[in-house]
């Protein structure tokens, strides 16, 4: 409870974690929010996510990949899920039909990052949008790498997305529940 400061632990096991909740303000952009965390982070590698997507990304492999290349930033690249079914034809005959498959073409920002403190030099203030100038400059400077994740990924941007994800969870079919 942020109002009272009460903390409820919902897990029987305790990991060696420190959790800080930082109020970054309602009007602060994504890059500005990251910049406001600078004083709370040690001078070490850290991770960031938007929190509006679920994935089965292997965090250990993601971090190992990041550590292997020595650049400032690693973005998790994922295949975009299809909004509609996909059909493969031969003439007018349907050879294959996939209802809303994970697409095999193209890559998008999956919203899971591993970052070095040097990324703060790419951030200006509260108005900074992480996905614009900072990431564009990191890429131009050769400091942005992609960890290609072929595992399950789904955003939760709409009520429809939420309902689909809840249905998968309730049916015990959640591909992102890799801890089970």
Chain segment 38-72, per-residue pLDDT in tens: 998 889 999 999 888 899 999 999 999 999 999 99
Query: pTM score > 0.95 for this model?
Result: no
pLDDT band per the 50, 70, 90 thresholds, residue 87? confident
Percent of the chain with pLDDT over 90: 62
- Domains of the chain, each with CATH number or no CATH: 30-169 (3.90.550.10)
pLDDT band per the 50, 70, 90 thresholds, residue 89? confident
> Read out DSSP for the chain?
-TTTT------SS--S---------TT--HHHHHHHTGGGS-SS-EEEE-SSEEE---HHHHHHHHHHH--SEEEEEEPPBPSS-EEEEETTEEEEEESSPBPSS--EEEEEEEE-GGGGGG--STT--TTTHHHHHHHHTT-EEEEEE-S-EEE--SHHHHHHHHHHHHTT--TT-TT-
pLDDT band per the 50, 70, 90 thresholds, residue 103? low
């Amino acid at each position: 409870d942020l109002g009272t400061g009460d903390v409820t632990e919902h897990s029987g096991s305790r990991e060696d974690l420190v959790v800080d909740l930082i109020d970054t303000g309602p009007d602060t952009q994504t890059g500005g929010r990251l910049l406001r965390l600078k004083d709370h982070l040690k001078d070490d590698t850290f991770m960031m996510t938007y929190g509006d997507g679920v994935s089965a990304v292997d965090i250990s492999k993601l971090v190992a990949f990041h550590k292997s290349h020595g650049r400032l930033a690693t973005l998790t690249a994922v295949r975009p899920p299809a909004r509609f079914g996909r059909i493969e034809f031969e003439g007018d005959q349907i050879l294959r039909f996939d209802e809303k498959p994970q697409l095999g073409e193209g890559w998008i920002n999956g919203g899971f990052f591993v970052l070095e403190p040097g990324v703060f030099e790419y951030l200006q203030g509260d108005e900074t949008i992480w996905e614009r100038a900072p990431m564009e400059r990191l890429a131009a400077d050769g400091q942005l790498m992609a960890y290609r994740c072929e595992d399950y990924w789904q955003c939760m941007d709409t009520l429809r997305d939420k309902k689909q994800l809840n249905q998968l969870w309730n049916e015990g079919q959640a591909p992102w529940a890799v801890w089970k």
